[in-house]
Amino acid sequence: MKGQLQSDWITGLYAIREIMLKRFFIRIGFVMSSASLSVAEEKMDLYLLIGQSNMAGRAPIAEKDEGVIERCFLLNGEDKFEPAKNPLNRYSTIRKGLNMQKMNPGYSFSKAMLKEDSKMTIGLVVNAKGGSSIKQWTRDAKFYQEALRRMKAAMEKGELKGVLWHQGETDHKDPEYLDKLKELVKNLRKDLKLPKLPFVAGQVNNAREVNDQIAKLSSEVPHTGVVKSEGLTAMDRWHFDTKSMKILGERYAAEILKIQRGQ
């Protein structure tokens, strides 16, 4: 009888210990969640990332790049901000399969921007679609409207500081690409009520005709910039490898900062 009581007593202690541990981890989880939410509630510098596959992200994600980006938040599927981590196009409402979403320029872009200001908090709205043409980003098209809708929802939590655009592979032989790109810039600025909204377009891999047109954007439209693809390497015909994707993101940051500083 004494042995049974001792056994029951020990079992009871283990049960109490289990309950206390669960409560502890729930409390810790709540504190961490609350901390994340409180940071996200601050007014953030917002950036819209749109385009096709390189902006969606096709570069492999190394284990060291899987963690949360400090002071950076991502608009999720419920139009709320959560701590950002790769793949950043995971919540795109127009994306292809989740398993196709990998590293895009947003990762190194965010890190480069945050390095410039230790007090800055960034909010990303990433809504890219691999294989999309610029025609699918015209004002009345679904892709444009979804980007606009999500961006407006995000703007309740911060100020839109710029648009990062990477697209052109599908349209690399279109002689009117620049005109269509300029129209996109005009539409976004009008619909978001930001006439001087910084807009940066990135060149694609190994496509001179469309890259030459993209290169003219900054000289023809105020408050725009161009990220060159010179020196970058690709995994295939179109998609930049991980190293070059990081360089691309850093180049986007440099162009955005240049526009913001009036240079």
Same domain? For 240 and 214 the reply is yes
Reduced to 3 states, what is the DSSP secondary structure of residue 142? helix
Q: Is 93 exposed, middle or buried (0-12, 13-18, 19+ CB in 10 A)?
A: middle
Q: What is the DSSP letter of 172?
A: T
- Cα 167 versus chain centre, distance: 15
Distance CA 127, CA 145 (A): 11
Confidence (pLDDT) at 22: 44
CA angle 207, 178, 125 (to 5 degrees): 85
This prediction has a pTM of 0.86
What is the structure's pLDDT at 27? 45
Could you tell me if 249 and 208 lie in one domain? yes
Q: Which residue, of 25, 41, 57, is where some domain finishes?
A: 41
Q: Which domain, by its residues, includes 191?
A: 43-260
Whether residues 213 and 129 fall in one domain? yes
Q: Are residues 122 and 25 in the same domain?
A: no
Task: Verify that 150 and 210 share a domain, yes or no.
Answer: yes
- pLDDT score recorded for residue 263: 79
- List the beta bridge partners of residue 122: 45, 72
Helices 106-116 and 242-260, packing angle to 10 deg:
40
Q: CB within 8 A of 232, min separation 6: which ones? A: 205, 240, 244, 247, 248
Domain count, the chain: 2
**107 and 15: one domain?**
no
Q: Same domain, yes or no, for 102 and 186?
A: yes
pLDDT by 10s per residue, the chain, length 263: 545 545 555 555 545 554 554 454 334 343 344 444 445 556 899 999 999 999 999 999 999 999 999 999 999 999 999 999 999 999 999 999 999 999 999 999 999 999 999 999 999 999 999 999 999 999 999 999 999 999 999 999 999 999 999 999 999 999 999 999 999 999 999 999 999 999 999 999 999 999 999 999 999 999 999 999 999 999 999 999 999 999 999 999 999 999 999 97
Please tell me whether residues 138 and 16 are part of one structural domain. Answer: no
